[in-house]
Structure 1
Amino acid sequence: MGDCEIFTIKNAECLIEGRDVRYWVIQERMQIFREWMACYLWGHARRKLEGQYKSDDDVDIDF
């Protein structure tokens, strides 16, 4: 994940949560956010595998 993606994610997060974008979305914080995102996604994948969770794409839904 490059800087553009992490900047976009953090910018959206700040707007949704009402945080000051000028404080949170700066280059000095991007490495921390990138590492946090990697850990979060790894943990989510692990919980999904251990808990037998299914994504929306994996569930058969009849309409």
Structure 2
Amino acid sequence: MKVLLVNGSPHQNGCTHTALDLAGCELKKEGITAEELSYVHPDACRLLSILEYGAWADA
């Protein structure tokens, strides 16, 4: 069996990556192969800025 771990966080080595890495290690102990896929939409940082500041970060 193979598991795909999907990371959508804009922080390349952030908390989500750490959690997925720990999950991957536990799966490996059980004989299950896991692979992490990181994908961040190009506007993710801008969208986060809107939520936090109410405006585009570069505006």
Same fold, TM exceeding 0.5?
A: no
TM-score grouping bracket, smaller chain normalisation: 0.3 to 0.5
TM-score, normalised on structure 2?
0.33
User: Which structure has more helix as a fraction of its residues?
Assistant: 1
The one of the two structures with greater contact order (alpha-carbon pairs below 8 A, sep at least 6) is 2
TM-score, normalised on structure 1?
0.31
